[in-house]
């Protein structure tokens, strides 16, 4: 049975959150939570930490964060990138040869990405030198141990919710540390090593990497079938999320989705108190009286049956009601005043590649989104149609992984109901076996789209897609690129050409 926090439930519907008796998520009081982290009082201060594959997603953010916490950071990668250039501007030395000579012999800690093979020259040298070696996810867990961790997990919504929590706490003057799977212009990037006590991290379920984390506060936004190249089925996925929830501090709090049966099943493993959120029924955190004005959404928040206040969103999509409600709940458990939460959420413009507006030219709206799962596609397209109300909505979707496309083919074919035209380039290959590659291709998805009454086109290469769009687009159209691969190149090039 899901536990509930100790709530002083008033009968007044107008009760404000400030008088609700919250269970405290840690032993800190409000003053300690607001700041006071001693940068010199951590085991990485003035320690040499070397990153192999420093330009990778997550790795660059963690390297930045440790450098800001006083570590002496260096790294290597196969090629220069925007991520490595940013780190070099911070004074971090990076080599691009990845040989034994590039390994600093005085490194106490070595962090490597999952893509680095065991026989990598620098990794072999690190073993000989006696350095402590960690995978990225393991080091993330090590850093969380020296701060008060907030971890946001779930099949969908992690990056947006994590960005939103980081933004709220930053606006509250708490200077949190954070690592997010997407960059945010408002935050100045995807990572920060702050002077405050909180460390906010996006917790990824692939490879069970989130099991390296031991947070004080956590959220699980939803659980669905995904990463089926790693997990066998939804039951195994749910079991992994249950194990993640069981690792949240027993004195802490977990926020999870009352409308997702798998979330409730996983929450039964929790030692921490569990609070639910949702748009229907009687969850602890309820979003109701949802209003839409020119696509801009707002809603009332109730906690424990008592009215808290109203939240308004700048970002499109009804799925962001849930994301913002989770962010508000987590921030409130961090003692952030409600007026600060409401102001920050209304000002929040989103994370990169999450319904990101690239340009509006000649009456044509051009956007990009990371959606690569059927649920994400369906909710994002619905949000874009409601918010922008285009005459035509054209989606360029690049499937990510043959294995995901194969296992969810029918779900993908039904996810584009709000699109007037769907263009499918070749599938992005990631961790795919030869059997997966042979089993399904982009034309198979187009065939299923057409069979379900959608207008789908298979255009294999990105330059051909750009050329086709230039001929097709007219005033009143909205075109959005979608996928976890480099499909964003199409819409970025389209903006340049138009």
| CATH numbers and ranges of domains, the chain | 17-34+146-347 (3.40.1190.10), 48-134 (3.40.50.720), 356-497 (3.90.190.20)
β-pairing, 285-293 with 273-278?
parallel
The CA-based angle 227-229-230, given to 5 degrees, is: 75
Residue 355 structure tokens: 């319904």
Average pLDDT, the chain: 91
Rounded Cα distance between 445 and 432, Å, is 17
Residues 305-322: what's their mean pLDDT?
A: 95
Q: What are phi and psi of 480, to 5 degrees?
A: -130, 135
**pLDDT at 14 (0 to 100):** 31
Rounded Cα distance between 346 and 335, Å, is 19
Measure CA 367 to chain center.
Answer: 18
Residue 428 backbone zone (phi > 0: left; psi -120 to 50: alpha; other: beta): beta
Hey, what's the torsion of the CAs at 212, 185, 352, 474, to 10 degrees? Answer: 180
pLDDT at 27: 34
**pLDDT for the residue numbered 42:** 80
227: left (phi over 0), alpha (psi -120 to 50) or beta: left
Give CA–CA dist 189/191, Å, rounded.
6
pLDDT higher for 204 or 3? Answer: 204
pLDDT value, residue 10:
29
Nearest to 299 by CA among 342, 348, 347, 256: 342
- Higher per-residue pLDDT: 200 or 56: 200
| pLDDT > 70 fraction of the chain, expressed in percent and rounded | 92
Predicted local distance difference test score (pLDDT) of residue 23: 43
Annotate 189-247 with DSSP letters as a single string. Answer: EEEE--SSSEEEEE---GGGGGGG---SEEEE----S--TTT-SSHHHHHHHHHHHHHT
Tokens of 125: 């040298």
Mean pLDDT, residues 396-421: 96
Residue at token pair 């009215």: 307
Percent of the chain with pLDDT over 90: 82
Q: What is the pLDDT of residue 102?
A: 85
- Residue 407's SS3 state is helix
Whether residue 31 has pLDDT greater than 60 = no
Q: Radius of gyration (Cα) for the chain, nearest Å?
A: 23
The 10s digit of each residue's pLDDT in 468-487 is: 999 999 999 999 999 999 99
State phi, psi for 94 to the nearest 5 degrees: -130, 135
List Cβ neighbours of 390 (8 Å cut-off, separation of 6 or more).
365, 384, 476, 477, 478
| pLDDT at position 34 over 70 | no
Q: Determine the pLDDT at residue 16.
A: 40
Mean pLDDT within 223-245: 94
Judge whether 61 and 84 are in contact, CB under 8 Å: no
Is 25's pLDDT higher than 60?
A: no
More confident residue, 195 or 273: 273
Per-residue pLDDT of 79-116, as tens digits, reads: 999 899 999 999 999 999 989 988 999 999 999 988 88
Close Cβ partners of 415 (under 8 Å, ≥ 6 residues apart): 374, 375, 377, 378, 381
Region of residue 281 (phi > 0: left; psi between -120 and 50: alpha; otherwise: beta): left
- Give the containing element (helix H, strand E) for 357: strand 356-361
How high is the pLDDT of residue 441?
A: 97
pLDDT of 413 > 80? The answer is: yes
What the block records as the tokens of 311 is: 């939240």
Q: What is the pLDDT of residue 114?
A: 83
Give the long-range contacts of residues 296-305, CB within 8 A, separation 24 or more. Answer: 296/387, 297/321, 301/325, 301/328, 303/7, 303/17, 303/20, 303/329, 303/332, 304/7, 304/9, 304/20, 305/9
Smallest CA-to-CA distance from 315 within 300, 288, 297 is with 297
The two structure tokens encoding residue 378: 């369906």
Position 21 confidence tier, pLDDT thresholds 50, 70, 90: very low
**Per DSSP, what are the bridge partners of residue 360?**
365
Of 189, 242, 240, 245, give the one whose Cα is nearest residue 215: 245
Contacts of range 105-109, beta carbons closer than 8 Å, 24 or more positions apart: 105/129, 106/48, 107/48, 107/49, 107/50, 107/74, 107/131, 108/47, 108/48, 108/49, 108/132, 109/44, 109/47, 109/48, 109/49, 109/50, 109/133, 109/134, 109/139
Asked which of 23-37, 276-290, 411-425 is least confident by mean pLDDT, the reply is: 23-37
Supply the pLDDT for residue 38: 58
Query: In this predicted model, what pLDDT tens digit does every residue of 431-470 receive, in sequence order?
Result: 889 999 999 999 999 999 999 999 999 999 999 999 999 9
Q: Residues 194-203: what's their mean pLDDT?
A: 94
**Local structure of 354: helix, strand or coil:** coil
């Amino acid at each position: 049975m899901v536990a509930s926090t100790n709530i002083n439930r008033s009968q007044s519907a107008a009760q404000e959150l400030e008088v609700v008796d919250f269970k405290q998520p840690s032993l800190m009081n409000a003053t300690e939570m607001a700041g006071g982290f001693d940068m010199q009082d951590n085991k990485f201060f003035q320690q040499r930490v070397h990153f192999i594959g420093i330009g990778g997603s997550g790795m660059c953010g963690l390297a930045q964060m440790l450098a800001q916490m006083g570590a002496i950071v260096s790294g290597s990668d196969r090629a220069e990138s925007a991520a490595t250039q940013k780190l070099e501007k911070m004074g971090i030395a990076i080599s691009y040869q990845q040989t034994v000579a590039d390994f600093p012999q005085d490194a106490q800690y070595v962090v490597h990405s999952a893509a680095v093979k065991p026989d990598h020259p620098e990794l072999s040298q690190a073993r000989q030198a006696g350095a402590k070696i960690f995978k990225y996810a393991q080091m993330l867990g090590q850093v969380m141990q020296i701060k008060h961790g907030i971890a946001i997990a779930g099949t969908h919504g992690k990056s947006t919710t994590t960005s939103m929590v980081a933004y709220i706490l930053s606006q509250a003057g708490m200077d949190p540390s954070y690592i997010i799977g997407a960059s945010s212009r408002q935050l100045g990037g995807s990572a920060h090593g702050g002077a405050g006590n909180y460390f906010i991290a996006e917790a990824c379920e692939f490879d069970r990497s989130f099991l390296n984390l031991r947070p004080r506060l956590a959220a699980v936004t939803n659980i669905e079938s995904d990463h089926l190249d790693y997990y066998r089925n939804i039951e195994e996925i749910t079991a992994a999320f249950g194990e993640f929830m069981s690792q949240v501090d027993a004195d802490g709090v977990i926020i999870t989705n009352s409308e997702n049966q798998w979330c409730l099943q996983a929450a039964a493993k929790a030692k921490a108190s569990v609070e639910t959120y949702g748009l229907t029924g009687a969850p602890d955190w309820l979003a109701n009286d949802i209003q839409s004005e020119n696509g801009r959404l707002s809603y009332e928040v109730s906690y424990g049956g008592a009215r808290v206040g109203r939240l308004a969103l700048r970002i499109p999509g009804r799925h962001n009601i849930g994301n913002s409600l989770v962010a508000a709940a987590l921030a409130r458990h961090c003692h952030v005043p409600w007026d600060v939460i409401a102001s920050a959420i209304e000002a929040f413009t989103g994370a990169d590649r999450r319904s990101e507006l690239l340009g509006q030219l000649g009456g044509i709206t051009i956007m990009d989104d990371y959606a690569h799962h059927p649920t994400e596609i369906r909710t994002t397209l619905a949000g874009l149609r409601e918010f922008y109300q285009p005459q035509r909505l054209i989606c360029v979707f690049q499937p990510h992984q043959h294995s995901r496309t194969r296992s969810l083919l029918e779900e993908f074919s039904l996810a584009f109901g709000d699109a007037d035209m769907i263009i499918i380039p070749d599938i992005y290959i990631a961790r795919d076996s030869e059997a997966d590659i042979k089993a399904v291709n982009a034309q198979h998805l187009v065939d299923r789209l057409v069979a379900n009454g959608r207008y789908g086109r298979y255009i294999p290469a990105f330059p051909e897609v750009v050329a086709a769009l230039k001929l097709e687009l007219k005033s009143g159209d909205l075109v959005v690129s979608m996928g976890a691969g480099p499909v964003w190149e199409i819409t970025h090039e389209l903006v340049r050409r138009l």
